[in-house]
Structure 1
């Protein structure tokens, strides 16, 4: 019998940090768990990423209430993954915003992703009984849109495919701060199971072109100052490239998924083995890299059954 996924045994509650990344801008982080962002406008608050459950969303709300009593008017979701979106109901926001593509991915694979992640992340889904169902946006867009929180402009943009096909970033120009979702991580493994390796580097270039003063990444500590921002962007680039290249070489010579797994481990373990959720992400990353190297552009849908079959094959 295959051993459990690494995340299934991680039941230790994480220490929360709530870091100011710009005036009225905060990063909610928790030792490699999914991050959220907070943007305080003149009259209301925007939340970036809703957490996996209302239980976890309420921890974000508690932090918000420590700095402002303004109502939460908007929740922006950078992509469709269950651990990012299923807590949205707790915020009571007037608008829930995704890209058009992210909404289509909820329709196509949202329930399967929920079922898959529920099995993989038991700690994050404690209190799951309070989730009312799939999270659907009230507002979607393609390319770019701006939201005004009073006089504060917040730009929502699709800069390219990376972590998923529907990724967006959120830029606050008055502070030159960006909330990147899982396109950028800090000392946390990138989850690439639904990713686009060939596009990810170009999307990082588009982010880097903003010469940002701070980033609230998808996982890991807030990135404050251009040196830390650029180092995290380049480290993310290295992680993605170091995962794809060995798998692509194995695929090119007609090798097996297990051989790709061994090759990626040899390249990545020395550099990234101590990163948060590294062991959890690796099998999914290798499987997706192996598929993309064989010309499969659209990531195959992960189901709880596919998860287990893939993991058993790698263990065997």
Structure 2
């Protein structure tokens, strides 16, 4: 490889924030690193997103223990990516919930994704030796599922494909707050390497329909108030469309992946180059956009070997 992935050189620890986004609802954020969510019910706690390792999960647990001593009974994964799920064992939650599609993706490509992400982003896997293996759910659902934490209702919903085929969101009606996973980001690049560009905008519209008062996004700061929520949704939409359209134009005329890369950079660099993990995501985003534009509906599985081959191709 002519040079390393940008993420391989990202070794700086990020500052953690723990923001209350509604009564008993918290967003664990860390300057563009993967976020987690906390939902405190009458007698127990639900965690949204496990983090990449038990070591990182314990940072979430430390914050939870600052605000409640209630047991963690539910762990919800919005999708299958390693940086979201491999820290699950730290919570020792009796219920681990995913969508049916996400479980199938763990079975199909979970190990390959783990190997790929471990190579790409070593800082997020410090303490990886404590990961016991792939994370499997105890419970799955297809479209919607409701969990009651005492009297607190929590709605889990698959609204459509976006960041992955199996994405879910978590809505807490009593505070009108949503946890969106990586469907919505804030001043952080969207990772689209396993995404569905043609569907993403429709899924954002489904989220927008709820007219929520706050969102805990997949990466970036908590979104407080409807103005900030709507701005982040539209900015995410712009990022996805600005990535796909140039790549699709190149694919339509039979151009190369490298030409798609150059076209996407021309469109996106002026708007998004200062976003967290922008350079980390860009090669994978371009490769997936180019594939989708050529009619490949199901994202090809990323492996450590495929990562390197793609990167060398883009470097010319």
TM, length-normalised to structure 1: 1.00
Hey, what does 1:240 align to over in structure 2? 240
Hey, what does 1:65 align to over in structure 2? 65
Matched position secondary structure for 1:123: helix
Rounded to whole Å, the distance in 1 between the matches of 2:144 and 2:35 is: 23
Structure 2: runs of 5 or more not aligned: none
Is 2:224 the counterpart of 1:224? yes
* 1:2 Cα deviation from its structure 2 partner: 2.0
Rounded to whole Å, the distance in 1 between the matches of 2:255 and 2:10 is: 32
Hey, what does 1:76 align to over in structure 2? 76
Rounded to whole Å, the distance in 2 between the matches of 1:9 and 1:288 is: 23
Is 2:305 the counterpart of 1:305? yes
Question: Alignment RMSD, CA only?
Answer: 0.3
Matched position secondary structure for 1:66: helix
Rounded to whole Å, the distance in 2 between the matches of 1:28 and 1:228 is: 18
Rounded to whole Å, the distance in 1 between the matches of 2:233 and 2:289 is: 20
Give per-residue Cα distances to partners, 1:29-63, cap 9 Å, x unaligned: 00000000000000000000000000000000000
Is 2:204 the counterpart of 1:204? yes
Matched position secondary structure for 1:14: coil
Rounded to whole Å, the distance in 2 between the matches of 1:202 and 1:123 is: 34
Is 2:288 the counterpart of 1:288? yes
Hey, what does 2:118 align to over in structure 1? 118
Structure 1: runs of 5 or more not aligned: none
**4+ residue runs of structure 1 moved beyond 6 angstroms?**
none
Rounded to whole Å, the distance in 2 between the matches of 1:14 and 1:308 is: 27
* 1:284 Cα deviation from its structure 2 partner: 0.2
Rounded to whole Å, the distance in 2 between the matches of 1:175 and 1:26 is: 12
Rounded to whole Å, the distance in 2 between the matches of 1:122 and 1:197 is: 27
**Residues 11-22 of structure 1 correspond to what in structure 2 (within 5 A)?**
11-22=11-22
Is 2:165 the counterpart of 1:176? no
**Residues 103-142 of structure 1 correspond to what in structure 2 (within 5 A)?**
103-142=103-142
Hey, what does 2:4 align to over in structure 1? 4
Alignment: residue pair count = 316
